[in-house]
Amino acid sequence: MTTESVLAPIEDYGNPAISGMSQEEDAPRISVRSLWKVFGKNPERALEEQHESKSRTDIQREMNLVVALRDVSFNVSPGETFVVMGLSGSGKSTLVRCLIRLIQATAGKIIVDGEDVTDFNAKKLLEFRRSKVAMVFQNFGLLPHKNVLDNAAYGLEVKGMQKEERYSIAREVLNKVGLNGWENANQRELSGGMQQRVGLARALAVDPSILLMDEPFSGLDPLIRRQMREELATLQQEIQKTLVFITHDLDEAITVGDRIAIMRDGVIIQIGTPKEIITNPADDFVEEFTQGIPKSKVINIENIITKPVVVSPSSSIENTRAMMDQAGSDYAIGIDNEAKYLGVICREGLSNRLESDSDSVHRLIDSTLVPVYPNTTLDEALHSLSNQNLPIPVVDQNNTFIGVATHHNLLKILAGSK
C-alpha cells in the first residue's frame, strides 16, 4: 500500500497501521519488469523501436502479430492483494499465465523472491509450481471423478504426500473455506460457489506463498459472487497470501484489492489503491471505468476528522460549558491524561447534574458512544451517523483520541465531486 493519498488527511498521525506500509520497506515478492507477450510468427519484431508508437491494432494489421502484453511492469509486496483489471482481451489472463510460464513471455523479467522465473529450468519450474504458487481458475478446474476431499488434496498427492497426512491438511483447508461435511461429495452435487471453494481449498492446501486467481468468481451468479469476494477478503486477512487477482469487475477489485492495476490493450494504464483509482483516475478511460462506484466506499473517515472540545474528567462543569460556548458546540469529548478516549459530554447532560455530584464532569461522561478507527470507510460511517445526532469519535489502535467525524463534514465530502 502506498501512503500517498489524494485527499490528504487533516493530520498525519504517524501511525503505520493507519498510513499503510510503504512499498519500499519490503522487498517485493513478485517483480515484473518490462514484460512483453506477442502472439504470432517471429514475435520479437513487435518490440523493434520503429513500431514503438504504433497501436496494437496497427501492429496486428501490418505485421499479423497480437501484442497481448506491452512493456508491463509492477511489483507485488508479500501479503498484498494485487488486482489486475481490464476489459475482455486486455491481456489479464496472458499476464497470469506468463507469471507461472504456462505461456512463455516474449521479453522481460519475472522476479519472484529474487529469482527470475523466466530463467528456470524444467525441474525448477515444476518445483515452483508445486510449492510456491497456486492458481485458481474461472471454470474451477476440478477433477470430476474425484470427491471433494481428493480434489482438495490433489496438489499434495502430486507432491507425493501420504494419504493420512494429505487428508488431514485437506480437511483443514476445506473447513477454512466453509466446506466442512462435504468431503465425500462429488462435483455434480456441488453448486458453482461450492465448486469454486473446492478450487480455492486445493490451491491453499499446498500452502503456496503466492495465489493467482483468474476471474475466479465470474462464473457465479451475482449474489454468490459478492458473498465469495467478501469471504475471500476475510480469509485473506487470516492467511496473508500474496494474491494476484484478475477481474473485469471494479466493484470486486475494490473489495479485495490493496492495489489495482488497470489494463487496456496489453498496457497497464494506472496502478493505485482503490482510493487513488476512484478519486484520481489517470485518464478518461479509467474514469469511465470508475463511474458508478460511490466514493464513500473508498474514502476513509480520517479525511473528515475535526477537533472538537476536549476535556479531562476533572474539568469543572462551568469550564466545560464555557469551552462549549466558545466553540459553539453542544458536546465535548472526555479524554484521560494519556489522551485515551472516555466518552462524550452533552450540553443537556451538564444541566442534569445531581445535587450529590461534584463540580467535575467526571460522572457526566457518557461512554456509550462507540469510537471507530481512522480507516473506517465513509460508507460504514454513514450507517453510524444516520443512527445518532452526535458525531463519531475516532481513535487509534491504542484508543488514543484523534478527533471526530461530523454529519456536516461527511455530507460536504459526499456532495463534492472529489
Ligand X SMILES: Nc1ncnc2c1ncn2[C@@H]1O[C@H](COP(=O)(O)OP(=O)(O)OP(=O)(O)O)[C@@H](O)[C@H]1O
Residues of this chain that interact with ligand X (CB under 6 A) are 39, 66, 68, 86, 88-94, 248
- Minimum Å gap between C-beta 256 and ligand X is 17
Residue range at the interface with Mg ion (CB under 5 A); choices 87-95, 155-163, 186-194, 406-414:
87-95
Residue 89 near which of ligand X, Mg ion, none (CB within 5-8 Å, type-dependent)? ligand X
- Minimum Å gap between C-beta 406 and ligand X is 43
Residue 277 near which of ligand X, Mg ion, none (CB within 5-8 Å, type-dependent)? none
Which single residue is written with the C-alpha cell 483468474? Answer: 214
Residue range at the interface with Mg ion (CB under 5 A); choices 93-101, 157-165, 308-316, 338-346:
93-101
- Minimum Å gap between C-beta 56 and ligand X is 8
Residue 373 near which of Mg ion, ligand X, none (CB within 5-8 Å, type-dependent)? none
Q: What is the DSSP letter of 403?
A: E
CB nearer to ligand X: pick between 28 and 86: 86
- Minimum Å gap between C-beta 263 and ligand X is 7
Distance (Å) of CA 196 to CA 69, 141, 152: 28, 9, 11
Distance (Å) of CA 109 to CA 8, 27, 208, 233: 35, 16, 21, 29
Residue 88 near which of Mg ion, ligand X, none (CB within 5-8 Å, type-dependent)? ligand X
CB nearer to ligand X: pick between 61 and 124: 61
Candidates 93, 151, 195, 406; binder of Mg ion (CB under 5 A) is 93
CB atoms within 10 A of CB 179: 21
Q: In the numeric block, which cell numbers belong to residue 285?
A: 478511460
DSSP for 111-157 reads EETTEEGGG--HHHHHHIIIIIEEEE-TT----TTS-HHHHHHHHHH
Residue range at the interface with Mg ion (CB under 5 A); choices 11-19, 86-94, 100-108, 346-354:
86-94
**In a 3-state reduction of DSSP, which class is residue 381?**
helix
Q: Counting contacts by CB under 5 A, is residue 195 touching Mg ion? A: no
- Minimum Å gap between C-beta 37 and Mg ion is 13
- Minimum Å gap between C-beta 73 and ligand X is 17
Phi-psi region of 231 (alpha: psi -120 to 50; beta: other; left: phi over 0): alpha
- Minimum Å gap between C-beta 266 and Mg ion is 13
CB nearer to Mg ion: pick between 93 and 255: 93
Closest CA to 15 of 418, 417, 394, 409: 394
Closest CA to 101 of 246, 262, 212, 204: 212
Phi-psi region of 283 (alpha: psi -120 to 50; beta: other; left: phi over 0): beta
Which phi and psi angles does 398 have, rounded to 5°?
-95, 10
Please give the residue ranges that form the binding site for Mg ion (CB under 5 A). 93
